[in-house]
Structure 1
Amino acid sequence: MSNNSQSNHGNKFEQLGTLLSDPNIFRTASGAPGSMYWQQKADYVIHCELDEVNQRMKGSETITYTNNSPDPLSYLWIQLDENEHADDAENKRFNQSRLTERMSLEQLQGLVPTQNGYGVNIHKVTDGANKPLPYTINYTMMRIDLPTPLKPGAKFVLNIDWDYKISNRMVEGGRGGYEYFAGDDNYLYTIAQWFPRMAVYSDFQGWQNKQFTGRGEFALVFGDYKVHITVPADHIVGATGECQNYNQVLNATQLSRWKQAQNSQEPVEVVSLADAKEAMKTKSSSKKTWIYEAKNVRDFAFVSSRRLVWDALKVNEGIAGNQPMAMSYYGPEAYPLYRKYSTKVVAHTLKTYSKFSIPYPYPVAISVEAANGMEYPMICFNYGRADADGTYSEAVKYGMIGVIIHEVGHNFFPMIVNSDERQWTWMDEGLNTFLQFLTEQEWDKDFPSRRGPAHKIVDYMKLPKDQLEPIMTNSENIVQFGPNAYAKPATALNILRETVMGRKLFDYAFKEYANRWAFKHPTPADFFRTMEDASAVDLDWFWRGWFFGTEAVDISLENVTQYRMQGGSPKQTKQQQETAFKDDLNTITRQRNMEENMAFLVEKDTSLLDFYNKWDRFAVRPADEAGYQQFYQSLTPKEKDIMDGKISFYELQFKNNGGLVMPIILEWTYTDGSKELEHIPAYIWRLNEKEVYKVFAKQKEVASICIDPYRETADIEESNNAWPRQAQPSRFEIFKQQGQGVRGQSTESNPMKEAKNQNK
């Protein structure tokens, strides 16, 4: 990382060089796809059935795989994510566990090995002619050996029959599964990462067959899907893509409402709350098949339950060339929140993300309330339930809105700008959290965003180094996943936009990245290079510090020295000399001698006096005054201001205590009460990364100086940011301030409930 580790310069501003992959014919040095860029394609036809009685999913699929690479392939890799839940799953063995003095029964139960029968059962793997294909399963990956190498440009058809036991995701964790509602004896199924899916084969790493252990999400191939989903007849299904047979699966009233939603200015309940409550009372023994199609997507997921309200709204404006349907599916317990907010949040998210990246290209975007947060193309699962009396806390409200924005936003990153989540979590979570912050702030100027503002990453940045790792760290190797992969990159991008590059340059470059890599597979190097290529801003120092390092921002204003011309005229000069002369003589001994009325010898014996005792050494001579006036009249107005002492010079000394170089932002407060903001680029640290000096000329008298007044650089130690030094609030005072209540963090659990009870 350090080119010149023994020096105070020549490290932090060096170009990234070997830290980035070399450009080539597939990926250019500008960050754009190269002239020979390629990617694979996988098209799916799937028939599946949800067995609610036995809690099983079974299916058969046909995959048509197109080898667009220049390489012959002798085998294909398939992802089996459901094997994460298998009894002998690798992640169950390598995850650490500890015992404490106080443990719940549930915690102890989680330490006991189980035999639940989870994991994918592969029943058949054949080629297009139904000839068996040999395969090998390694945990969550399955290698299919081809009879002959698949040549560049060729297609291969394979068929897979499979089934698995659906897990209770509220107990087992993970992305997909069911949630059981004992009150009405019904299930909510969020079926995700559920079918054997093609792994990515790319120009930059070959097969991405890194195992799925629960954290690093996935890398997937784009393709077209046609999925037949058979479920109990009283279930409602929402899925990736567009339903092809609403006229067969909806009753006449629901179909009429669906058509009404195409032109409504407000969300329309296609399946009403009354419909859902009625369906919850009994269970149908018959089945229906919902048919969905999706073009150019990288995955497919769906929700199925009889206890769903479904509302829909067409997004008529704000997305160039598209008017998608924004929709929400939710149970009765989420109705007070989701009916009011969810679909409008979906629409707002699509519009805002489209403004900052690319116009949303898909026909649908769905938010499902499922007590968790996870994303797939055109559909996502979020939380947000009210209390039994219909009230909710402010924290739940804003948390729900935030998570809907976040998960819907994932349609852009990584569902369209298709980065490898298993390798670089920040490329989807960090970029998406940044856009989530911008979208939250456009929802409500007082939105209590948790991630994005620079000062909110400070507690993480100041942790001991053994608890930190660079953003450029593999998902499974991160200690504090949320701060590292979500908050820190989001903060870094916000600092880039607001402080380093400025909104205009940043927004143009970010849109360029999104457009270049929409429906393609970018790497971090492609992002870093594009942001510089489209803006003409050298950002290697920023990527090096924020993404490849663990240092923090702590810029200290060490010292301030004021210089001012005290006047240049002979009279002023003599006065200054007289003052200096007297100051030099004015010792403590002289003062005390005079206080004692000491009789000095030259006063008692006047014969000791001579010319110099009577000479006025500070008198102004006519020749001096004439010469000065001639000089003064030759000066420019600015030079006269300097000579007259109207301009003061302030020399500021800065120290980089944290190590992370950043711009220096100064707020000057003058004695007349006015303020001035001044930005010093980060390049000031180029020749000395540890300590720098800077002189400023000011026409006003300075009362105080503050570094980073708007807390935009994530400075971890604000006590050294001010001159003169200012007293900092103690821990007790800070606690009292927080206790007064922050928007989105209610001081009571549910003020709405309390108000409702008072009004009874």
Structure 2
Amino acid sequence: MKYCSTLIKLIFLFFSIGIIAQETPKQATLSEKNPDKFQQMYDLLATPNMYRTASGAPGPEYYQQQADYKMDVELDDKNTKLYGQETITYTNNAKESLDYLWVQLDQNQQSRKSLTPLVESNKTDPAMGVQGFSRKYLEADFDGGFNIEFVKDALGKPMQYSINQTMMRIELPKVLKHGEKISFSIKWWYNINNYTLDGGRSGYEHFDTDGNNLYVIAQFYPRMAVYNDVEGWQNMQFWGSGEFALPFGNFEVNITVPADHILEATGNLLNRAEVFTPAQLARYAQAEKSFDNPVIVVTQAEAEAAEKGFSDKKKTWKFKADNVRDFGISTSRKFIYDAMAVKTGSTTSMAISLYPKEGNPLWEQYSTRIIAHTLKSYSSYTFDYPYPKAISINARDQGMEYPMICWNYGRPDAQGKYNDQTKYGMLGVICHEVGHNFFPMIINSDERQWTWMDEGLNSFMEFLAEKSFDPNFPLRRGPAKNIVPYMSGDQKGLEPIMTNSESIRQFGNNAYGKPATALNILRETVMGHELFDYAFKTYANRWKFKHPTPEDFFRTMEDASAVDLDWFWRGWFYTTDANDIGIKEVKKYYVSNEPSKEVTEFMKKQRRRDTNPGPMVYMIEEGSEDYKPELNKPFKITDYTALNDYVTSHFNAEERAKLNEPKYFYQVTFNKPGALVMPIIVELTYEDGTTEIQKFPAQIWRMNDKEVNRTFASQKAIVKIQLDPKLETADIDVTNNTWPKEEVKSKFD
């Protein structure tokens, strides 16, 4: 290789001097006008400390609080109310003492006193359905929100508390010091919302055909807020978009529902023999040994019989969950139930689906299988799935996640028929919501602050899982070309990924699509699979069952890969810049024994400085005034006396046989109308129809943010040059990506 390098250096010695001489003044001007896109991110990232290190790992003083719950909950199905009482044991692991505690009351967003509807812009609809008009202007708002009956200490004495919208501050009788615990009880009830009418991430769906309700119950209990080293108390109000920040803890939950309901929830079911029939118990035992196909535990016939009964009796389901950040419940007499075992590494879990008959045949065929595939795919990139189960609930118009359980849309029509859109939509949402077990249920980021840290990372992992599940899967978020319409949009409607959840206007594009695309580009184009996968797995294992920040992710990805990514985070996450790289011009050069006039003048100046460069090789641009038709021939070393003499005297016959002998020389000028710096990917097409891909790192733009040159020395004549041929850099305008210039139907094609 060193011989080839020496020859190329000789050929282009003077040619390169000429380019540098031409570009230096332009670069000096650009350095004054443009910020440094490769500036290190000391100005943007939090200062490392003993809690969170400069490597992106938890520091020696890292801590997190713990909140343990013992809870009794009862569903009033006839009146759609939920009653509950809980005892919370809170452990202060912070070095500082706490004067009070903050508890989240997210159900208060459904209260008639909620401020959420008042912060949204509201125009008059020119036309509305009669039901919508009635609900908006004629009917009273849904009467939701927590009704707190008491807050008491461990001795049963009332504790002082104050409610501010969706947050409750509990006053402590004395400060809670480092290492101390406090136990207190809260009793509450609330009206459950019909989420299909009143909105919400949970609630119930009513079936007019049989009079039953299907419940997906979450945010149903007062939940401890996070206290940490980054913000102290994360007590930002729940406005609806920013989701949740929660500490880990252990849960013991008893749930009383009508006796004819089938129920699932976070954690291990402790009394299965009391709530399942003997036949259902036998089927579940079979499912625990079935790793290839789901087993129907509660049959459609059993579900259809139950949905006609409306039992007045009650049944209590008992669950225990360790080291989870939240708890979710789903119950209905309409549920069919199937399950199968899933092995990820050294752990075995259950994949479980619950769905009404309205979900069949789609759900019976696909739901549990995509759960199992998701757990395997995500585990391969992070860690073995640690929880005992993952549950998918079929609920109309829903897509929401909690530890071990999630609710998902997707049903066939009344005749049981469905198209690919319905099928893949259902598969995609199940994959996504089950995947949330990893991000943020285990890798527990602050959703109230940074939606992208769970939705963006999870959408990227969903993209990988869907690709491996079905090669024909219609991938939505992840492929670079899919984000182009968003990134090329009006800048007035965009904000950086690093924007608080409540201030994002295009939620799906900003918090889901763009970060998923960014990670895909990192893996495919910038870092490569091996470096990316190692770093990503390092991040996942460093921060599983902990609370990472964006800085922890950024730093770990660099720390574990030795790839400087500050330019990437700065551009993709902190700006709304878009990528647009084009081919400005292509010049063809020929080797000559005689210098051009420009070279002659330059050499005269150099000689006045007593510089003797020795024998030279000269390059003449095709079409220039020094160009002669006889130059138009493939380059051969033996045609040029000085170069041939050098090669003969410096290399023996064996070494000369290994030298490159390019025949054609092309100087390509790449310009960058877009503000984002990205790698340059070039596909060269030769006269014989063969192609070659060459990639140049993003750092090629470090000295000149507007345009750069590259010379291609090739064995064959180049007939076409194309940038980003596989559309992997989210280039927003491909009309300037080819030479010779081609007509392009659409810049998104």
- Shared fold, TM over 0.5: yes
Match in the other structure for 1:726: 742
* TM-score, with length taken from structure 1: 0.86
Cα distance in 1 for partners of 2:349, 2:185 equals 33
The amino acid that maps onto 1:274 is: A
Cα distance in 2 for partners of 1:300, 1:629 equals 78
The size of the alignment, in residue pairs, is 683
Cα distance in 2 for partners of 1:584, 1:663 equals 36
Cα distance in 1 for partners of 2:627, 2:78 equals 99
Match in the other structure for 1:716: 732
How far did residue 256 of structure 1 move? 1.2
Residue 653, structure 1, aligned to residue 680, structure 2: no
Percent sequence identity over aligned pairs? 53
Whether contact under 8 Å (1:564, 1:645) holds in the other structure is: no
| Counterpart pick for 1:290 among 297, 317, 322 | 317
Match in the other structure for 1:603: none
Describe how 1:589-604 pairs up with structure 2 within 5 A: none
| Counterpart pick for 1:510 among 506, 522, 536 | 536
The DSSP-based 3-state class of the residue aligned with 1:324 is strand
How far did residue 478 of structure 1 move? 0.6
Describe how 1:8-87 pairs up with structure 2 within 5 A: 11-87=36-112
Whether contact under 8 Å (2:518, 2:572) holds in the other structure is: yes
The DSSP-based 3-state class of the residue aligned with 2:151 is strand
Taking a change above 3 Å as real, the CA distance of residues 215 and 630 of structure 1, as seen in their structure-2 partners, is: closer
| Counterpart pick for 1:180 among 206, 227, 246 | 206
CA displacement 1:277-334 (0-9 Å, x = unmatched): 111112101100000110000000010000000001011x3x1221001100001011
Cα distance in 1 for partners of 2:462, 2:288 equals 27
Match in the other structure for 1:611: none
The amino acid that maps onto 1:666 is: V
How far did residue 21 of structure 1 move? 0.7
Taking a change above 3 Å as real, the CA distance of residues 462 and 107 of structure 1, as seen in their structure-2 partners, is: farther
CA displacement 1:549-601 (0-9 Å, x = unmatched): 001000011111111225789xxx9xx9xx9999999xxxxxxxxxxxxxxxx
Match in the other structure for 2:337: 310
The DSSP-based 3-state class of the residue aligned with 2:360 is helix
Describe how 1:165-204 pairs up with structure 2 within 5 A: 165-204=191-230
Whether contact under 8 Å (2:581, 2:731) holds in the other structure is: yes
Describe how 1:65-144 pairs up with structure 2 within 5 A: 65-112=90-137, 114-144=140-170
Taking a change above 3 Å as real, the CA distance of residues 444 and 116 of structure 1, as seen in their structure-2 partners, is: closer
CA displacement 1:427-446 (0-9 Å, x = unmatched): 00000000000000010112
Match in the other structure for 1:441: 467
Match in the other structure for 1:692: 708
Cα distance in 1 for partners of 2:626, 2:150 equals 104
How far did residue 106 of structure 1 move? 4.1
Match in the other structure for 1:274: 301
Taking a change above 3 Å as real, the CA distance of residues 7 and 708 of structure 1, as seen in their structure-2 partners, is: same
How far did residue 107 of structure 1 move? 4.2
Larger Rg: 1
The amino acid that maps onto 1:564 is: Y
Cα distance in 2 for partners of 1:699, 1:472 equals 47
The amino acid that maps onto 1:43 is: D
Taking a change above 3 Å as real, the CA distance of residues 413 and 73 of structure 1, as seen in their structure-2 partners, is: same
Match in the other structure for 2:606: none
Match in the other structure for 2:241: 215
The amino acid that maps onto 1:39 is: Q
CA displacement 1:682-707 (0-9 Å, x = unmatched): 00000111211111211110010000
Gaps (5+ residues) in structure 1? 586-623, 738-760
Whether contact under 8 Å (1:567, 1:644) holds in the other structure is: no
Taking a change above 3 Å as real, the CA distance of residues 627 and 357 of structure 1, as seen in their structure-2 partners, is: closer
Whether contact under 8 Å (2:107, 2:146) holds in the other structure is: yes
Cα distance in 1 for partners of 2:531, 2:640 equals 56
The DSSP-based 3-state class of the residue aligned with 1:7 is helix
How far did residue 253 of structure 1 move? 1.0
The DSSP-based 3-state class of the residue aligned with 1:427 is helix
* TM-score, with length taken from structure 2: 0.88
Whether contact under 8 Å (1:10, 1:687) holds in the other structure is: no
| Counterpart pick for 2:483 among 452, 457, 463 | 457
Taking a change above 3 Å as real, the CA distance of residues 454 and 346 of structure 1, as seen in their structure-2 partners, is: same
Match in the other structure for 1:596: none
Describe how 1:184-583 pairs up with structure 2 within 5 A: 184-264=210-290, 265-315=292-342, 317=343, 319-371=344-396, 372-565=398-591
Whether contact under 8 Å (2:99, 2:172) holds in the other structure is: yes
The DSSP-based 3-state class of the residue aligned with 1:452 is coil
Whether contact under 8 Å (2:303, 2:333) holds in the other structure is: yes
How far did residue 10 of structure 1 move? 5.1
The amino acid that maps onto 2:503 is: N
Whether contact under 8 Å (1:707, 1:721) holds in the other structure is: yes
Taking a change above 3 Å as real, the CA distance of residues 132 and 728 of structure 1, as seen in their structure-2 partners, is: same
Cα distance in 2 for partners of 1:639, 1:416 equals 58
Cα distance in 1 for partners of 2:451, 2:584 equals 38
The amino acid that maps onto 1:268 is: V
Whether contact under 8 Å (2:160, 2:170) holds in the other structure is: yes
The amino acid that maps onto 1:222 is: F
The DSSP-based 3-state class of the residue aligned with 1:137 is strand
Cα distance in 1 for partners of 2:488, 2:520 equals 19
Whether contact under 8 Å (2:287, 2:295) holds in the other structure is: yes
Match in the other structure for 2:722: 706
Whether contact under 8 Å (1:559, 1:652) holds in the other structure is: yes
The amino acid that maps onto 1:132 is: P
Cα distance in 2 for partners of 1:468, 1:195 equals 36
Cα distance in 1 for partners of 2:727, 2:650 equals 42
The amino acid that maps onto 2:372 is: A
| Counterpart pick for 2:683 among 662, 667, 671 | 667
Whether contact under 8 Å (2:248, 2:324) holds in the other structure is: yes
The DSSP-based 3-state class of the residue aligned with 1:149 is strand
How far did residue 504 of structure 1 move? 0.1
Whether contact under 8 Å (2:662, 2:713) holds in the other structure is: no
The amino acid that maps onto 1:284 is: S
The DSSP-based 3-state class of the residue aligned with 1:323 is strand
The DSSP-based 3-state class of the residue aligned with 1:226 is strand
Taking a change above 3 Å as real, the CA distance of residues 627 and 485 of structure 1, as seen in their structure-2 partners, is: closer
